[in-house]
Amino acid sequence: ELFGLSVSPWELIVRGSAMYLFLFLLFRVVIKRRIGSVGMADILILVIVADAAQNGMAGEYRSITDAFILVGTIVGWNTLVDWLTFRFPRLQRILEPPPLLLIDNGRVLWQHMKQEYMSESDLATKLREHGVTDPREVAKAFLEPDGQMTVLKRKP
């Protein structure tokens, strides 16, 4: 019973696929990016989502083999999506947001900051990480798709 199948493998594959695709869309398309840090609220959401998704994926499985099939399905989808975005750059443009310009020639683009719920304090923190104390020192600053910030300083 430990390694037997308690649920149809196809049911596990369908459940795993459905939850993977739903969570993929949620995290890659809806949530998009964060400011390069993981806060307490992010961890809490991740734990709650994982617990809620587990019930949707698992159904009533009880064996290790069932778990292997479910985890294999999720890893398989992740690998396939990564391969597809590598193979088809057009798909990557759809699934990952382009870099967002936050500072242009020393001028902070507040509308773009607002779009990402980025505060002035968040911006100042990220600029200090790049050795910048004043946005006027920056030629361009981008919020990258992975949440990191790229800062190109003005030439003296």
Instruction: Kindly state the helix (H) or strand (E) to which residue 138 belongs, with its residue range.
Output: strand 138-143
Tokens, residue 79? 């690998």
Using alpha carbons only, give the angle 30, 35, 37 rounded to the nearest 5 degrees.
105
CA atoms within 13 A on the CB side of 52: 8
Read off the pLDDT of each residue in 129-148 and give the average, rounded to a whole number.
Answer: 92
Tens digits of residue pLDDT in 72-112: 888 888 888 889 988 998 888 787 778 999 999 999 999 99
Share of the chain above pLDDT 90, in %: 30
Q: Which residue has the higher pLDDT, 152 or 35?
A: 152
Q: What is the mean pLDDT of the chain?
A: 82
Q: Is the pTM of this model over 0.85?
A: no
